[in-house]
Chain A
């Protein structure tokens, strides 16, 4: 079984500042890792994913994340945030070869302040 811990439930940050949302996972098997964003009253939208290869992955809206196997982490970063980035962000994991059964963290609310 897999588990995901998102270390910060809320992250306030000023517009144009950098941000990092932290995610740690636990698994006894190889995993794929994902970050999703959820805007109010909407479903989940995929920001980026790590499947294999380069540990630095780039996603939509200027976000990137780095997979660190030794630290079992997959932190999400953006060098300069905008008001429109205000949303809930979820880190998720699934075992390699599984049929897309995702295990999600409890989420981080990113609030970008003017």
Chain B
């Protein structure tokens, strides 16, 4: 049973460019959340997708956008990259409506470096 998979594992971009990160949720999960983890910090919630719609959003600018596909996979897009966007981006999946006894499953992340 495959867990949460993210691609690519590493990415280097230049300031001002745009980037797309991808996530496939754990089999049986229908909800995807994205987190940004800056170096030396804890993860920060970006947004959550369910039924192909953004359901919740953290305190991130509109440069951060996402998408969820009918197969529940998801993309995170960041436009006009800034140096401060350099971070590990984590995807987490869950089953909507399940209790917290069913935990979030995290992927290994995509390491984005902006130069």
Chain A residues engaging chain B, CB cutoff 8 angstroms:
4, 6, 32, 36, 41-46, 49, 51, 90, 92, 94, 99-107
| Nearest CB of chain A from residue B37's CB, rounded to whole Å | 8
Interface centre among B40, B42, B90, B100 (most CB of A within 10 A): B42
Number of interface residues, chain B, beta carbon within 8 A = 28
Contact status A44-B40, CB under 8 Å: no
- Residues on B with C-beta less than 8 A from A36 are 106
- Residues on A with C-beta less than 8 A from B73 are none
A26–B108 alpha-carbon span in the complex (Å): 29
Q: Is B58 an interface residue (CB 8 A)?
A: yes
| Nearest CB of chain B from residue A21's CB, rounded to whole Å | 13
Q: Is B4 an interface residue (CB 8 A)?
A: yes
Contact status A46-B44, CB under 8 Å: no
Instruction: List B residues 32-77 near A (Cβ within 8 Å).
Output: 33, 35, 40-45, 48, 50, 55-56, 58
- Residues on A with C-beta less than 8 A from B40 are 106-107
Chain B, 74-115, contact with A by CB distance < 8 Å: what is the 0/1 string?
000000000000000010101010011101101111000000
